[in-house]
């Protein structure tokens, strides 16, 4: 997995095939909406459609036909309960992405990413949050994280959601979301497609992991308590 760190649309397709399998729908049958919107947004929606929109599970992209302006910005991505939203200004070259927390009444602020990079970043984050196998731990020390081997840092800026400084790591057949716990450590979610890809966590005795996997019978499993 560490060799598949998506940084553009082609490597994103490679990552999605590795994580989700081959697309269920053929390419080239996307939305008929033709608005003055960035190519990167159209391209991402076409990619999502090929996987029958399975590439988002926690937050979501607003359908192209439902996009609206908010204070001069186009809101295109939303946290699943509407507590955080992301937008771009169609008048700005490169389409830098803005964010804000609607309930706080604060103004839009720049994320440090342009739209094309944001969509890749968000897609990888969704892969972690919706992964069939996850382990979650709180207050993990930086020293412990530094001992993990064969890890590649995602080369995009840290996010403010789900917590300030949120960053992603790529391991061998696993991904990790690292967020500040508000104290001296970090809240960590490691995710994989198979339980065997997370057995390495058993060799990290300093960490008390909570494990969550796909249900093995018809009983639905409670969703994991996200640590933010």
Give φ, ψ of 144 to 5 degrees: -70, -45
In total, the chain counts a number of residues equal to: 228
Can you tell me the distance from the alpha carbon of 212 to that of 224, in angstroms, rounded to the nearest whole number?
6
- Please tell me the predicted confidence (pLDDT) of residue 39: 93
Please name the helix (run of DSSP H) or strand (run of DSSP E) that holds residue 113, with its range, or none: strand 109-114
Threshold 0.75, pTM exceeds: yes
**E strands, 141-185, in order:** 152-153, 167-170, 175-180
**Residue range(s) in the chain whose domain bears CATH number 3.30.310:** 131-213
- Please tell me the predicted confidence (pLDDT) of residue 182: 78
- Please tell me the predicted confidence (pLDDT) of residue 2: 46
Can you tell me the distance from the alpha carbon of 13 to that of 223, in angstroms, rounded to the nearest whole number?
27
- Please tell me the predicted confidence (pLDDT) of residue 89: 94
List average pLDDT for each run of 10 residues in the chain, which is 228 residues long.
76 95 78 72 94 94 91 94 95 94 92 97 97 94 90 94 94 94 88 95 89 56 52
Contacts of 113 (CB under 8 A, 6+ apart): 96, 97, 121, 156, 157
Domain range 131-213, its CATH number among 2.40.128, 2.60.40, 3.30.70, 3.30.310:
3.30.310
Looking at the DSSP bridge assignments, the partners of residue 176 are: 169, 190
**195, 228, 187: which is closest to 212 by C-alpha?**
195
- Please tell me the predicted confidence (pLDDT) of residue 25: 85
């Amino acid at each position: 997995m560490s060799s598949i760190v998506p940084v553009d649309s082609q490597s994103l397709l490679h990552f999605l095939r590795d994580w989700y399998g081959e697309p269920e729908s053929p390419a080239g049958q996307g939305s008929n909406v033709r608005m003055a919107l960035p190519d990167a947004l159209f391209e991402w929606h076409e990619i999502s459609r090929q996987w029958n929109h399975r590439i988002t599970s926690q937050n979501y992209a607003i359908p192209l036909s439902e996009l609206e302006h908010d204070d001069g910005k186009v809101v295109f991505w939303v946290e699943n309960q509407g507590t955080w939203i992301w937008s771009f200004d169609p008048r700005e070259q490169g389409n830098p992405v803005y964010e804000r927390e609607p309930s706080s009444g604060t103004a839009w602020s720049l994320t440090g990413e342009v739209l094309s990079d944001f969509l890749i970043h968000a897609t990888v984050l969704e892969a972690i949050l919706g992964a069939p196998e996850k382990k979650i731990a709180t207050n993990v020390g930086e020293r412990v994280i530094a001992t993990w081997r064969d890890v590649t840092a995602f080369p995009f800026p840290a996010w403010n959601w789900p917590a300030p400084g949120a960053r992603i790591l790529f391991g061998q057949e696993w991904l990790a979301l690292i967020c500040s716990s508000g104290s001296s450590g970090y809240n960590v979610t490691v995710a994989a497609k198979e339980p065997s890809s997370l057995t390495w966590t058993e060799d990290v005795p300093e960490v008390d992991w909570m494990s969550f996997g796909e249900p093995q019978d018809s009983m639905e499993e409670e969703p994991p308590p996200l640590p933010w």
